[in-house]
Structure 1
Amino acid sequence: MNHSMNAAENTLTSRVKDWVVDSVGSDASITSVQRLHGGTASSMHNVTLRNAQGIQNVVLRQIDNAEWLSEEPDAALHEAESLKIALSADIPTPEIIAWDETGSICGIPAVLMTKLAGTVDLQPVSRSHWLSGLAQTLTRIHAVEADGFKWNYFTYKELSALEIPSWSRHPELWPIAFDIVKGPRPHVKPCFIHRDYHPANVLWTGDRVSGVVDWANACRGPRGVDVGHCRVDLAQLFDVATADAFLCAYVSYAGEAFSYDPYWDLVAFMDILFGPPTVYSGWAAFGITGLTDEMMERRLDEYLLSLVKRVTG
Structure 2
Amino acid sequence: MTSHDATAPLRPQTLAWVSRHLEAGERVVRTEPLHGGVTADVRRLTIAARDGGTRDLVLRSYVDPFYLRDAESALNREAAALTLLPGTGVPAPALVAADPTAAHCAYPSLLMTRLEGRTVLDDAGIPTRLPLLARHLVAVHALRPTERPPEYVALSTPDTAVIPQHADRAVWSAAADAIRTPRPPYQGRFLHRDFQPGNILFDSATALTPSARITGVIDWAGASWGPSDLDVAHCSTVLALLHGPTWGLRFPDAYESAGGTLAPTRAQRRYWQVRDALAASEEVGIISRVWREAGRSELTERAVGERLHAYVVALMGAVG
Structure 2 length as normaliser, TM-score? 0.87
Residues 277 and 44 of structure 1, relative CA distance in 2, 3 Å threshold: closer
Aligned with 1:243 (options 248, 252, 255):
248
* 2:280 alignment partner in structure 1: 272
Q: Are 1:193 and 2:191 counterparts? A: yes
1:77 paired residue number: 76
Equivalent residue number for residue 302 of structure 1: 310
Distance 2:123 2:175 in 1: 32
* Corresponding position of 1:281: 289
- Which stretches of structure 1, 4 residues or more, deviate above 4 A after TM superposition? 255-260, 275-279
Q: Which residue number corresponds to residue 21 of structure 2?
A: 23
Alignment of 1:82-93 (within 5 A): 82-87=81-86, 89-93=88-92
The one-letter amino acid paired with 1:229 is: H
**Contact 2:59 2:111 (8 Å CA) reproduced:** yes
Distance 2:77 2:286 in 1: 28
SS at match of 1:203: strand
Aligned in 2, Cα 1:35/1:229: closer, same or farther, shift over 3 Å? Answer: same
- Residue 3 of structure 1 corresponds to which residue in structure 2? none
Partner of residue 104, structure 2: 105
Q: Give the distance between the partners of 2:284 and 2:116, measured in 1 at CA.
A: 35
1:164 is displaced (CA, Å) by: 6.7
Could you say which residue in structure 2 is the equivalent of 1:5?
Answer: none
- Opposite residue 284 of structure 1, the aligned amino acid is R
Over the matched positions of the two proteins, sequence identity in percent amounts to: 27
Q: Do the aligned residues in 2 keep the contact of 1:164 with 1:171 (CA within 8 Å)?
A: no
Q: 2:35 aligns with which of 37, 61, 69?
A: 37
- Tell me the distance in 1 between the aligned counterparts of 2:247 and 2:277: 16
Structure 1 unaligned regions, length at least 5:
1-7
SS at match of 2:80: helix
Aligned equivalent of 2:11, options 10, 13, 30: 13
- Contact 2:186–2:227 (CA under 8 A) maintained in structure 1: yes
CA distance in structure 2 between the aligned counterparts of 1:210 and 1:69, rounded to whole angstroms: 30
Call closer, same or farther: CA 1:44–1:106 in 2, change over 3 Å: same
**Distance change in 2, residues 1:239/1:291 (3 Å):** same
Establish whether residue 218 from structure 1 lines up as the match of residue 223 from structure 2: yes
Cα distance per residue 1:107-127 (max 9 Å; x no partner): 210000011111111125422
What is the number of residues matched between the two proteins?
Answer: 305
What CA RMSD, in Å, does the superposition of the two structures yield over aligned residues? 2.3
Give the Cα separation in 2 of the matches to 1:255 and 1:276: 29
The offset of 1:256, in angstroms, is: 4.8
Q: Which moved further from structure 2: 100-109 or 246-255?
A: 246-255
Q: Does residue 60 of structure 2 align to residue 61 of structure 1?
A: yes
Distance 1:177 1:81, change over 3 A: same
Q: Distance in 2 between matches of 1:164 and 1:121?
A: 28
The answer to whether the Cα contact below 8 Å between 2:98 and 2:110 also exists between their aligned partners in 1 is: yes
Residue of structure 2 in register with 1:262 after alignment? 270
User: TM-score, normalized by length of structure 1?
Assistant: 0.89
What is the identity, as a one-letter code, of the residue corresponding to 2:58? V
Which amino acid counterpart does residue 59 of structure 2 have in structure 1?
Answer: L
Alignment partner, residue 3 of structure 2: none
Counterpart residue identity of residue 288, structure 2: Y
Looking at structure 1, the residues matched to 287 and 101 of structure 2 have their Cα atoms a distance apart, in angstroms, of 33
Would you say the 8 A contact 1:194–1:226 is kept in 2? yes
CA contact (8 A) 2:47 2:54 kept: yes
Structure 1 residues 293 and 256: alpha-carbon distance in aligned structure 2, compared to 1, 3 A threshold: closer
Task: Point out where structure 2 has 5 or more consecutive residues left out of the alignment.
Answer: 1-5, 207-211
1:74 and 1:102 in contact (8 A); partners too: no
Residues 150 and 15 of structure 1: is their aligned pair in 2 closer, same or farther, counting only changes over 3 Å?
same
Secondary structure of the residue aligned to 2:90 is: coil
